[in-house]
Amino acid sequence: MAEKDTGWDFHMFSPSPVYLMRRRVVDVVMRGLLFLAASVSVLVTLGIVYVLLSESLAFFAHVPVFEFLTDTQWTPLFAQTRYGILPLLSGTIVAAGIAMLVAVPAGTVLAIYLSEYAPPRVREVVKPLLELLEGVPTVVYGYFALLFVTPLLSTFLPVRGFNLLAPGLVMGIMILPYVTSVSEDAMRAVPRHLREGAYALGFSRLQTSLRVVVPAAFSGITAAYILGMSRAVGETMVVAIAAGQNPNLTFNPLESAATITAYIVQVSLGDVPHGSIAYQTIFAAGLVLFLITLAFNIIGFFLRRKFREVY
């Protein structure tokens, strides 16, 4: 049987050897560039870990680890030096805890509203306005906490000067966009048929949101909480300006206390000799902060893996 003539010469469309070689070269170059770009974060992390460990080991050569973790006084810049990290740790935990008490419920409610209740036009206006809070400099937040929130709290609470409550509240407002945005994205990723099935069973919109959408998006919501907590623990300028720089082992939010980041700022701006034990304390404190953040990320990883839903 004679082959039917289609009128097409497929040999005209075969790529030339030069084109194939050029494409292979471009493919290899792009693979290399993408690999280098992906390696930057790993290399930066390894560099940070190396600096923290190298300086911290020099510090722990003079200060026992047990004393560092159990002593209740932190006075490395005084004549009588004490190196207990607990006062800085307590201030950090209290300030970050207050921030999360503000950001978690408010961010979750806002995320449910934007995902399940808000009309598209309202969502397009509210979400960008909310995310504008991320662009406000943290120094502005710090002076807002010191000059506005603290006097406001003093009208009905025994707050005088520096305290942990005002910066904690302001940090909660500051990390609110992180919690809201990530949580809302996780809720909107829940398939539509789950909502429709809930409505078919007679669920109201609120019941559908709380019993179907939130459990289905729990892994993403958990990631939002972990991101917000890590951001609150690592915040510097708000607590450095409004919480005070006096290391004080207290869990009372109405009192002033120093946080780990505030102490690092205090020493970095001072006249501490390079290589001294007082200088090395900022790396030991930074190592503690790094380990806290790492612990939160590990917890978030296991929670996401346990509760993640694949549709």
Q: How many CA atoms lie within 13 A of 170 on its CB side?
A: 31
pLDDT for 223 equals: 86
Per-residue pLDDT band at 14 (split at 50, 70, 90): low
Per-residue pLDDT band at 250 (split at 50, 70, 90): confident
pTM of the predicted structure, to 2 decimals: 0.83
Per-residue pLDDT band at 173 (split at 50, 70, 90): very high
- pLDDT higher than threshold 50 for residue 1: no
Q: What is the pLDDT of residues 222-249, one digit of tens each?
A: 889 988 898 888 888 898 888 888 888 8
Per-residue pLDDT band at 276 (split at 50, 70, 90): confident
CA angle centred on 174, ends 253 and 285, rounded to 5°? 60
pLDDT for 309 equals: 64
Q: What is the pLDDT of residues 182-207, one digit of tens each?
A: 899 889 888 888 888 888 888 888 88
Q: Where are the alpha helices (DSSP H) in the chain?
A: 17-60, 65-70, 86-112, 120-131, 138-144, 150-154, 165-188, 192-200, 205-208, 214-216, 218-233, 237-242, 260-268, 277-307
Give CA separation, 262 vs 92, 240, 244, in Å.
9, 5, 8
User: Cα(192)–Cα(196) distance, rounded to whole angstroms?
Assistant: 6
